[in-house]
Each structure stands twice: as structure tokens, then as C-alpha cells.
Amino acid sequence: MPIDRRQFLAGAAGASASLLTACAAPTASNTAASAPLPFLVGSPSEALIAKGKAPRVVVCGGGWGGLSAAKNIRQMAPQAEVVLLERNPVFFSCPMSNKWLVDIVDSQFLTHDYLQVSERHGYRFIQSEITQIDRDTKRVHTSLGHLDYDLLVLAPGIRYGYETWFGNDRRAAEATRARFPGAYIPNAEHYALKRALHAFKGGEWVMNLPPPPQRCPPSPYERACLVAWWFKTHNIKGRITILDHKDGVRPIGVGFREAFRDLYGDILTYVPNAHVQEIDPFAQRIKTSAGDMKFDHAVIMAPHQAGDLAWKAGAVGTRPDGKPTGWADVDNKMLTMKGDDDVYVIGDAVGQVSPLPNFLFYPKAGHVANAHGRIVARYIAERLAGRAPKVELPDNLCYMLVNGSPREAIAVQFDYRINDQGILEQAQIDDNDRREALVSEDFRWYARMMGDLFS
């Protein structure tokens, strides 16, 4: 039986339940009646909303980072006008979506209403496509009109770099994305993947992992485990091959390898150092440095890059050879864009923050994006109050379900500090011992996160 949101909230920890209740209480200034309208009949060539005297912070992207930033800026800097621009009408969570693929949770569990939370906290949610960011004039252009800002928070998530494989061959790139979506950007791809899994009758199921950094590095392994569990519990004669660009499973490598071997050893093969060289979506073949194979279905993950908006804002860094790094170049402590202190970048789009080879990038995780939103809110509040903000760093925590019956998970925790040389360091603790207790912790974590973003 899938768990629905009501059962889940009822079963959530006392701490998170009381958090939800406390946060949900409306105040006189933030009730729905006093909230501005979210659906504007704009015109792309006109101002979307006139700018008043209050400092205006425009948050671009309403995912894990942007939602956290919008709410926290309103709470920490109530004098600011906050506008959240997001293309989707409804929030869809990638975390927990692997469990949704195999019917452990239902769709309601992943989706949330943008409007209610914006009304509750008094920021303005406008559903629109951001088409251009002009930093010289401090103006964001959207499908509904333009918007001037004093401070900008970019939280655009990721985009796929299909051109790495397909160059200008759009037909092949589009066929790959349409027929074999990676489902790492919400949410139409997730529905397509779920349909493909539920219709799968047997044969070769292939999944690739792109070169790092990628969004949520452990989640493809979780997905492979749950697909294998689905095959077993539905008597589907399928074989799963994981083609990993990396030379080994990480993070939580021991825990995942044990799950692959002990639970799915007869149907799951893990292949390291499998660099994708060619994909033919029509003949259903994939060629990698570790060998070629034909597939009946594939979950094809093109390399990840910072979302389009980071490119539109000119925030993407450049390598010594002049090519783009693919990720936003930021001050690693203040999260401001290099060369423009009025633009903050948060979440998955953030580029390299440390020279240490075992770290380099913050994990591209919702937990980190949520913390980034809170951190830049505090930075902005201090700045608007005329004070210099104190540096804050995120943490990260991630649970991965590896077995559906009994439900068992493994986990990883990351902590960050600044060392004596001023360099950011990462400490990683893998919890490889798969057990049911971690599944309950996972659901409590998600309740806390959703409570934080939507209550």
C-alpha cells in the first residue's frame, strides 16, 4: 500500500508535527485575504509589478533552494518585498521520487501548492517562465513582463548537457530524452519513467551515471535497487545494468555494493568506468568505454550542468582552456556570484567551493539547497540592516532505500568547516548497515523538510 501524505504526517515525529502546527498558524499580516494575486495578465514588454520603496529581492526558481530563500527572507527581513518566480504551477519533489516510482508513496506525497505557502508568508509567487536576466539594468524578463530587483537569488537547479553526446543532432537528443528520460529534473520525465517501469515486461534495463558532479549522487543506485526490487516482486524477468562513469560506487559504497550483491545479485550488474561514447535511441544501443550493449529500456542521464538561468545571468565560470565549467562561479562562503555581489546563487547550480579533491562541490542535494536558502536569507537580512553577515555553512544528510520488503535504508552525513588556511573541508560519514530504523528516519527527514518549505 502506498503511503499517502495524511498518513505520513500523522506518523511523523512529534518534533516535526509541532513544527508544522506552529508554522501553519496564520498571522494578521499574512492571511490569504491580504495576499497579492499570483496570476497576472502581463505583457512581456511591460513591468510585471511596479517597484515601490521597499528593497526588492527576486528569487528565480521555486525548488528546494528558492522556496527556502523566499520564506526565510520574508521572516528575517520583513521590510523586503520578496517575489518568487517559478515556471511550474505545483512543486514536485525529486527526493522520495524513487519510492514513488515503485508505489511506496503516492503522487500527493511529492507535490505541494506554491500559492498557499506564498500567501502564508507574504511573499509573491508568480508562475512564469524567466526568459532573460539583465544584470546591468538589474532586470529579470519573464513570459509575463519584466521585474526590477535590488537583490537577486538564483536557484535554477540543473539542466542536461545532451550536446556532449549528440552535438547538433537534435533529433537523436530529443528521441533519447523523450523515450529514455533520466528523470532528474521534475516532473514530466518522472511520469514517463514510471509508465515505462510499470509497462516493462522483461529484458535488459540499463541505467547510466554521468560524470560528477551530478544531482544527488547516491540516488541512481537507490533507483536501481528499487527497480530490481520491483522486478522481483512483480515476477518480471528483467536484468539491470548500471553503467557508472566513476571508478566505484560512492557515497555509501559498501552499503550499496552489499545490497547489489545480497539482494539483487542474480539480476543486477554494476559496471564501473563506463564512460558513455555513443547512444542510439532508435536501435536502442549504448556504447561505453567498458563495452557496448543493447537495451529494452534505459534510464539515460546526460551530464548535469547548472540550470539555464545561471547561463542567462552570465554566472557560469570559465576553465583555464576558455570552456565553461558548467557551474556557477560563486564566492564559496558568501554564495554571491563572482563579480556581482547583488546576485546570490544557491543549490545545485553552485560551482566548485573547495580545492580539496575529496570534496570540490557541495553535494547537489535538496538538503544543501534548503540550507543555502536559509543562509542567504540571513546574509540578505544582515546586509539590509547595514551589518556584515557572519559566514555560515550548510550540512547534508541523505537516506537511500535499498530494499522494499522489508524496508531497509542506508545513509550518509556530511559536515563542513573552514580550516586554518581558510579552505572549506568536508567530513563524510557513511552508514552502510542497512536497516529499517533508517527508513523511519528518512520519512522524518522528509517531513521536516516539507514542513520547513511549505508550512
Ligand X SMILES: Cc1cc2nc3c(=O)[nH]c(=O)nc-3n(C[C@H](O)[C@H](O)[C@H](O)COP(=O)(O)OP(=O)(O)OC[C@H]3O[C@@H](n4cnc5c(N)ncnc54)[C@H](O)[C@@H]3O)c2cc1C
Which residue, judged by CB position, is nearest to ligand X in the bound state? 63
Q: Which listed range, 59-67, 165-173, 259-267, 387-395, lies at the site for ligand X (CB under 6 A)?
A: 59-67
Does residue 125 interact with ligand X by CB under 6 A?
no
Q: Which listed range, 64-72, 258-266, 280-288, 420-428, lies at the site for ligand X (CB under 6 A)?
A: 64-72
Q: Give the single-character DSSP code of 217.
A: T
For residue 180, count CB atoms less than 10 angstroms from its CB and return exposed for 0-12, middle for 13-18, buried for 19 or more.
buried
Cα–Cα distance, 191 to 100 (Å, whole number)? 10
Q: Which listed range, 205-213, 250-258, 366-374, 431-439, lies at the site for ligand X (CB under 6 A)?
A: 366-374
Does residue 348 interact with ligand X by CB under 6 A?
yes
Does residue 97 interact with ligand X by CB under 6 A?
yes
Rg value, the chain, Cα: 22
Q: Three cell numbers at 410?
A: 542506508
Q: Which listed range, 92-100, 116-124, 293-301, 316-324, lies at the site for ligand X (CB under 6 A)?
A: 92-100
Q: Which listed range, 235-243, 318-326, 364-372, 412-420, lies at the site for ligand X (CB under 6 A)?
A: 364-372
Q: Which listed range, 71-79, 163-171, 213-221, 273-281, lies at the site for ligand X (CB under 6 A)?
A: 213-221
Polymer length of the chain? 455
Beta strands in 295-383 (DSSP E): 297-299, 304-306, 316-318, 324-328, 336-337, 340-345
- By CB under 6 A, name the one of 184, 256, 260, 359 that touches ligand X: 184
Does residue 129 interact with ligand X by CB under 6 A?
yes
Does residue 155 interact with ligand X by CB under 6 A?
yes
- By CB under 6 A, name the one of 70, 196, 279, 369 that touches ligand X: 369
Nearer to ligand X, 191 or 287 (CB): 191
- CB-based contacts of 422, cutoff 8 Å, min separation 6: none
Q: How far is the CB of 91 from ligand X (least distance, A)?
A: 7
Give backbone dihedrals phi and psi of 262, rounded to 5 degrees, phi first.
-75, -35
Does residue 59 interact with ligand X by CB under 6 A?
no
Site string for ligand X, 300-339 (x = CB under 6 A): -------xxx------------------------------
Site string for ligand X, 239-278 (x = CB under 6 A): ----------------------------------------
For residue 17, the one-letter residue type is A
Does residue 431 interact with ligand X by CB under 6 A?
no
Yes or no: say if 229 and 263 are a contact pair by the CB < 8 Å rule.
Answer: yes
Determine if residue 367 is left, alpha or beta; phi over 0 gives left, psi from -120 to 50 gives alpha, anything else beta. Answer: alpha
Q: How far is the CB of 364 from ligand X (least distance, A)?
A: 5
- By CB under 6 A, name the one of 215, 297, 383, 444 that touches ligand X: 215
Does residue 364 interact with ligand X by CB under 6 A?
yes
Q: Which listed range, 88-96, 284-292, 317-325, 424-432, lies at the site for ligand X (CB under 6 A)?
A: 88-96
Does residue 85 interact with ligand X by CB under 6 A?
yes
Does residue 130 interact with ligand X by CB under 6 A?
yes
Does residue 157 interact with ligand X by CB under 6 A?
yes
- By CB under 6 A, name the one of 42, 122, 145, 156 that touches ligand X: 156
Which spans of this chain sit near ligand X (rule: CB under 6 A)?
61-66, 85-88, 94-95, 97-98, 129-130, 155-157, 184, 215-216, 219, 307-309, 347-348, 364-367, 369, 398
